[in-house]
A and B are shown apart, each in its own frame.
Chain A
């Protein structure tokens, strides 16, 4: 094989690769749009009036997740499934966002941590790599960490809205999450960097709880019950 032939062979490979990337990029763009829509729906829970409408918002978000389902199914057809990690970078970000959004919805509904299996169910993908388009464990964890900062915000806003018990529940939840993350031996990677931010979320929520308890506000609703 001559040098020229060899290089044109490689060139074929490279342009095929680029075509796939182009296709993936298009689908991911649509996916990002949907993710933003879901976020907009869920953002309204931070408004004082939004607290009563949480179940409503969640069901709306879940409807939008159906769109995500079809869009992800579309994405799956764009590349050979065993080459997931070759193109991983393209959808890594949006998949983390979507994990965050589904975790947030599940938290708002049940106040518990979404499992990886649940996320994959909501998104219509697989848990295990062997079975197709899956959710990488690092992406799942990153999504959960995004939710943690969202919850610290929610704690502040729920106090503003007059809901004094929610911060306590959030505090318990985040503490549990924090001790979970401490079990992990993280490498010096993006996930680790994001994890380093978790302590600030914990701190913020603890401050909220502190403010409530020195004013006796934290106990008040319990008296109501």
Chain B
């Protein structure tokens, strides 16, 4: 902040002089109020950006954790651990909700949208692994209800908010949900490839079907959505292509060998050779 001040006004002594001159003038008084108002707003924005970054990092870690499901014997353990991590993320979202109490959600949307997208990605990824279906917006929002913990950071009496007493909720915006789901497809593609590597021949087909549904959904929305959607649609197509190719390969090789032996072929292949071999 001080650095900015310094570069903003090179003639330091002139200001001091000026300020002293009109210190009591109505204009200066008004600008002091604006200064406070803007600083409060910028501070809040920065705090939100910071929380959002933390959410992004934790969500990314959760996703990495979830990718291990292909290689561990007990899927449930991983999912439980992911649950724990996601609870931590939700705590942070609770902080965002706290900051935004009495504020216009959209005024600060840009500060926390990356974090929310990442959270949607993580939570929907976990949901898919567990239930093999797409988590709905309501299901996500239903888990974002927080009890207000501490009253420590009640700053200005401006937002004392007598009515919002105990429960704070946070609503994921549909656009954030949409973008998060678009990111999810990339993770699903990775999951598909690595499960092929592990000789799992059912998951790729399930995934390709699921991805196709999502792709159809995005095509249905088309360009009515936010601008970023069209960019992500391109990546989605690439992911879908990769998954479909993998399924194609599985099918072709599968036709050469009797069905009941296919699993053996894949698992022995991956055991012997580089797992990447199975992908191509």
Contact = CB atoms under 8 A, between A and B. Distances in A.
A4 B28 contact: no
Q: Is the interface of B mostly helix, strand, loop or mixed?
A: helix
A82 B216 CA distance: 34
A137 B213 contact: no
B42 interface: yes
Given A1-B136, A4-B217, A180-B28, A10 B34 contact: no
Nearest to B29: A180
B74 interface: no
B221 A14 contact: yes
Contact-residue bracket for chain B: 35 or more
Interface residues of A, number: 42
B216 A4 contact: yes
A82 B104 contact: yes
Contacts of A178: 18
Interface string A148-178: 0000000000000000000000000001111
B134 A14 contact: no
Interface in B105-147: 105-107, 109, 133-134, 136-138
B27 A180 contact: yes
Contacts of B35: 183-185
Contact of A185 (B42, B137, B138, B224): B42
A14 B31 contact: no
A180 B221 contact: no
Interface string A118-141: 000000000001100000011001
Interface of A: 1-4, 6-11, 13-15, 18, 82-86, 88, 112-113, 115-116, 129-130, 137-138, 141, 175-187
